[in-house]
Chains A and B, each alone.
Chain A
């Protein structure tokens, strides 16, 4: 409840700032360079079908990418982080590839996977994959030796050690990394949807919607608002998931 109030307060603050900016620019330039929020809302309602189709396409892509990145990055990060030998061999590879933005390889990705759905999902998945992988790897390396000793002394085998100690220990850090990467992932999705992705038309993703209506500032901004909602939705989803899976973290904190 308190959290919802904070989100509403933030939305109101943005609304106020946006209105003031629009007003100031209108005064200084003589015309509304940035459309007022209510104009953007009206344009969004007018093109509701296209807007919601674009939002749904982008959300679907981001959701699939999130699942793919967790399904691959998490076990790989645990494996490499928890084994000294694998860490020695694979860490340099991870840290060599990690800084490369997948967008830099977009041309090659288009060549390999075409301009359809696949390339957008792969671009975002690659971005999130490395965030999850690096977080899981780092967290697995820093698990308290006391947990490992206690569980080994209780007779745990390697699989049990991963299940009872390593996996739950890294989850909070992985969720934090994933939440922080939502913004980056959405940036990558936007770029993938606006380059050759624009061929899909305005309903094929928020990037395409924004680019298609670049000359209609009210509609273009309605697309930007859609990106903000998309980010917020995934941020909240990840936070709720973390609160459920890592409820021990919040124990005793009211």
Chain B
């Protein structure tokens, strides 16, 4: 379980001090998928980086399985906005990278690559892949860690609609397979409604939790076409619009 309590994040000092996140509280249960949504630049990524242990909160605390976060954990995987693939490493080397850095056996990577439709591309470099394939390699790298917690920072950003929906469905399928606790940061309302069991809506910077929408019917690819999906999207849009100009 992830527990974020009274999280406050500030950047800079003196006149350059910027308050990115203020008093954010939420929990993510084991195996639960939560979407964090808010306007661009509101501090969503900062929250994710703090959970990952890359940045230190100014105040508050973050617990994963009851332990305070003090740096990067082996059971937490993180996907950046553009997958962060290293252009000088092949698909296989990129997918194995996290395991290699953590001196863990590299077994199972081939299977994950196949599951993600990357079989046969193991020896290609990222420049030889489509954008959608690159994002899948980023997912494979994170998944290779067999994480308990999966943190995703807009992993479908800047993709065309069909590719984005395909990757959303892949993430959903992987969540059913591995049952990790997922935290997805996005500014796409439909994406949040498709993947989030709970949608946590954040205010413009500094980020605060404005509202939490329960979305218990998500979980199937067809959910995208259901009336409930549209109701959730409409509700989230309404709340986000009400925050504009505040």
Contacts and interface: CB of A to CB of B under 8 A. Distances in A.
Q: Indicate, yes or no, whether A interacts with B.
A: yes
A155 B83 CA distance: 16
B84 interface: yes
Interface string B218-241: 000000000000000000000000
B235 to A, nearest CB: 32
Given A168-B86, A246-B88, A248-B87, A153 B101 contact: no
A147 B101 contact: no
Interface in A84-130: none
Chain B at the A interface: SS class: loop
A203 B83 CA distance: 57
Nearest to B72: A155
Given A251-B128, A252-B125, A252-B127, A154 B52 contact: no
Given A146-B84, A147-B86, A154 B127 contact: no
Contact of B52 (A147, A153, A156, A251): A153
B102 interface: yes
B163 interface: no
A164 B89 CA distance: 9
B101 A251 contact: no
A248 B125 contact: yes
B8 interface: no
B82 to A, nearest CB: 5
28 contacts: A146-B82, A146-B84, A150-B78, A150-B80, A150-B84, A150-B86, A150-B138, A151-B84, A151-B86, A151-B101, A152-B54, A153-B52, A153-B54, A154-B78, A154-B102, A155-B74, A155-B101, A155-B102, A160-B101, A165-B86, A168-B86, A168-B88, A246-B88, A248-B127, A251-B124, A251-B125, A251-B128, A252-B128
Interface of A: 146-147, 149-156, 160, 164-165, 168-169, 246, 248-249, 251-252
